[in-house]
């Protein structure tokens, strides 16, 4: 008799816990849907920005010596050699491409969360991949401006380059590397959580087999 009462009490006490878990899953799914929509908008804006950048490089021209040495001025100045314009366009396009891949990875991740798939190997992989790409973006923030300066000297371009406008500030670089490290840390935490979940599921299956 006491065993039957214990089983009833255990089943009753587990109901609030299950309701709490389902409530959290619903919140995560709602967040995933909203975040996926934001990523879709950002991806679309990135594509539009790429087209606008190409139009600026090909069509738009400004008077000579009217700029202040930024990337925009390199692309639009009539004093800039064609080779340097192409190099600048490829450099900026590379940065935008990596950023779009990061947004796409986040879009797929939030899509999985919206579907209720939280601790999965695919999600861990996507977060880690996004963190590595973010780290690549932080490195490109240093490498690409440096290549522009070298290319400007190599092509002997009369258009001046303002280093303060081309290179990011120390604070911006620090934020980029910190953000990449934070995303990689999240991927590691998710990996540990996935391992614990798989281990708990295996123990539960073994217990069911014993019973």
Tell me, what's the pLDDT at 6?
A: 47
Please return the burial class of 101, using the count of CB atoms within 10 Å of its CB with bins 0-12, 13-18 and 19+.
Answer: middle
CA distances from 105 to 102, 111, 120, 131, 163 (A): 5, 10, 15, 10, 32
Q: How many CB atoms lie within 10 A of CB 133?
A: 20
What's the gap between Cα 208 and its chain centre?
A: 41
Task: Pick 183 or 72 by higher pLDDT.
Answer: 183
DSSP-assigned states of every residue in 185-196: HHHHHHHHHHHH
Q: Decide if pLDDT at 9 tops 60.
A: no
Task: Pick 173 or 4 by higher pLDDT.
Answer: 173
Q: How far apart are CA 142 and CA 164, in angstroms?
A: 12
Q: Decide if pLDDT at 202 tops 90.
A: no
Tell me, what's the pLDDT at 78?
A: 64
Q: How far apart are CA 96 and CA 140, in angstroms?
A: 11
Q: Decide if pLDDT at 178 tops 80.
A: yes
Supply the DSSP symbol for 157: -
Model confidence over 130-175: pLDDT tens digits?
999 999 988 988 887 787 777 666 656 555 566 666 677 788 888 8
What's the gap between Cα 28 and its chain centre?
A: 19
Q: Decide if pLDDT at 204 tops 90.
A: no
Q: Decide if pLDDT at 48 tops 70.
A: yes
Task: Pick 6 or 32 by higher pLDDT.
Answer: 32
Residue 106's pLDDT band (boundaries 50, 70, 90)?
Answer: very high
Model confidence over 70-105: pLDDT tens digits?
566 666 666 566 667 777 777 788 888 888 999 999
Tell me, what's the pLDDT at 66?
A: 47
> Residue 26, CB half-sphere, CA atoms under 13 Å: how many?
6
**Helix 121-154, helix 82-114: angle, nearest 10:** 170
Instruction: State whether residue 66 is helix, strand or coil.
Output: coil
Residue 210's pLDDT band (boundaries 50, 70, 90)?
Answer: low
Task: Pick 145 or 48 by higher pLDDT.
Answer: 48
């Amino acid at each position: 008799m006491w065993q039957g009462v214990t089983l009833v009490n255990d089943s009753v006490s587990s109901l609030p816990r299950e309701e709490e878990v389902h409530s959290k899953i619903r919140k995560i799914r709602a967040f995933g849907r909203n975040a996926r929509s934001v990523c879709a908008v950002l991806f679309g804006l990135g594509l539009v920005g790429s087209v606008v950048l190409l139009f600026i490089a090909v069509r738009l021209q400004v008077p000579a010596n009217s700029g202040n040495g930024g990337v925009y001025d390199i692309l639009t100045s009539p004093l800039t050699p064609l080779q340097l314009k192409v190099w600048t366009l490829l450099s900026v396009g590379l940065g935008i491409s990596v950023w779009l891949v990061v947004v796409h990875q986040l879009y797929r991740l939030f899509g999985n969360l919206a579907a209720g798939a939280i601790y999965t190997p695919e999600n861990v992989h996507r977060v880690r991949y996004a963190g590595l790409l973010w780290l690549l973006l932080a490195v490109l923030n240093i490498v690409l401006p440096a290549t522009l300066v070298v290319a400007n000297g190599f092509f002997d371009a009369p258009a001046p380059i303002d280093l303060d406008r081309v290179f990011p500030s120390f604070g911006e670089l620090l934020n980029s590397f910190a953000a990449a490290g934070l995303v990689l840390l999240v991927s590691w935490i998710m990996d540990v959580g996935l391992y614990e979940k798989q281990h708990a599921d295996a123990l539960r299956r073994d217990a069911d087999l014993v019973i």
